[in-house]
Amino acid sequence: MSDKTQRLEIVTPEKKVFSDNIRYLIAPGAEGELGILPEHAALITPLKIGLLKFDHDENRIIMTVSGGFMEVRDSKITILATAVERLDEIDVARAEAAKMRAEQRLAEKAPDLDVLRAELALRRALNRLNAVQ
């Protein structure tokens, strides 16, 4: 693999989550997984619920992302995410409870149910649970 690197900045509304040089990034783009290497063509894409994967200082980093946007330009990747969690930050019991609540809401089919919101909550919970397995 090349020794070239690119800057990765991951930001949520609450904080800057990550800022350093990496060699590659795998991200859940709107049309599927994207692999980003240094000198990648300019790109702006929405991000789906999924996983961010990259190596940093010889460590494999995996984070869940709950949507947002990614911009790639001049060997710099900027991710503006709704929410991001490192694997060691995921509370499995909380994710299980969120999954059960979302499944229960969807099964009840109440007339005032916001189906999209319940489906997104279920996808976020499943993403967290799949990430830690």
Tens of pLDDT along the chain (133 residues) come to 567 899 999 999 999 999 999 999 999 998 999 999 999 999 999 999 999 999 888 889 999 999 999 999 999 999 999 999 999 999 999 999 999 999 998 898 888 888 888 899 999 999 999 999 8
- Write down the pTM of the prediction: 0.86
Note the pLDDT of residue 2.
60
Indicate the helix (H) or strand (E) that contains 55. strand 43-56
Note the pLDDT of residue 100.
94
Note the pLDDT of residue 133.
84
Closest CA to 25 of 13, 16, 14, 33: 33
Note the pLDDT of residue 24.
94
Note the pLDDT of residue 57.
85
Note the pLDDT of residue 110.
81
For the domain spanning 6-87, the CATH number is 2.60.15.10
Q: How far apart are CA 121 and CA 82, in angstroms?
A: 13
Q: How far apart are CA 69 and CA 81, in angstroms?
A: 6
List the Cα angle 133/126/61 in 5-degree steps.
50
Fold of 90-132: 1.20.5
CATH 1.20.5.440 residue ranges in the chain? 90-132
- Helix axis angle for 115-132 and 92-108, nearest 10°, is 150
Q: Which residue type sits at 88?
A: D
